[in-house]
């Protein structure tokens, strides 16, 4: 039996303004390298193509293993959710990383 890494699901909308795509990438890097998470991005089904192109343009795919609709992320061990007022910036990066 193989060991499973914990799963971190990050809302794809946290990669877009007012968030910083580079901070989104940094969260994926930290979670993958230092916390040993498998990282997935979660997007509404009608926005997956948009975020796929967005991630490619801004290098956000480096530490994300997949881009999935919400129903595929139900087994996530940790979730970083988006929503009104949610953002990833250099000002709150340390707080977000401490939650992992």
Residue 44 near residue 75, CB atoms below 8 Å: no
67 sits in which H/E element:
strand 66-68
Rounded distance, CA 100 to CA 98, Å?
5
Residue 53 lies in a domain: yes
Asked whether residue 42 is domain-assigned, the answer is yes
Q: Answer with the residue of higher pLDDT: 93 or 3.
A: 93
Number of domains in the chain: 1
Supply φ then ψ for residue 44, to 5 degrees: -55, 145
- In 34-89, which residue ranges form alpha helices assigned H by DSSP? 48-58
Domain assignment present for 31:
yes
More confident residue, 75 or 30: 30
Whether 45 is in a domain gets the answer: yes
Per the structure, the complete domain to which residue 46 belongs is given by: 7-99
Residue 76 in domain: yes
The answer to whether residue 2 sits within a structural domain is no
Q: What is the pLDDT of residue 3?
A: 56
The verdict on residue 46 lying in a domain is yes
pTM for this entry? 0.89
Q: Is 1 a member of any domain?
A: no
pLDDT in tens, 21-45: 999 999 999 999 999 999 999 999 9
Q: How many CB atoms lie within 10 A of CB 2?
A: 3
Residue 96 Cα distances to 24, 50, 80, 86, angstroms = 10, 25, 8, 11
Tell me what pLDDT residue 2 has.
Answer: 46
């Amino acid at each position: 039996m193989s060991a499973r890494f914990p799963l971190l699901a990050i809302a794809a909308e946290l990669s877009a303004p007012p968030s910083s795509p580079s901070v989104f990438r940094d969260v994926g890097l930290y979670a993958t390298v230092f916390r040993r998470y498998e990282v997935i991005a979660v997007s509404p089904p009608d926005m997956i193509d948009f975020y796929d192109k967005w991630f490619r343009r801004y290098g956000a795919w480096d530490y994300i293993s997949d881009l999935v609709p919400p129903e595929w992320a139900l087994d996530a061990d940790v979730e970083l959710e988006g929503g009104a007022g949610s953002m990833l910036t250099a000002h709150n990066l340390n707080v977000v990383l401490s939650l992992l």
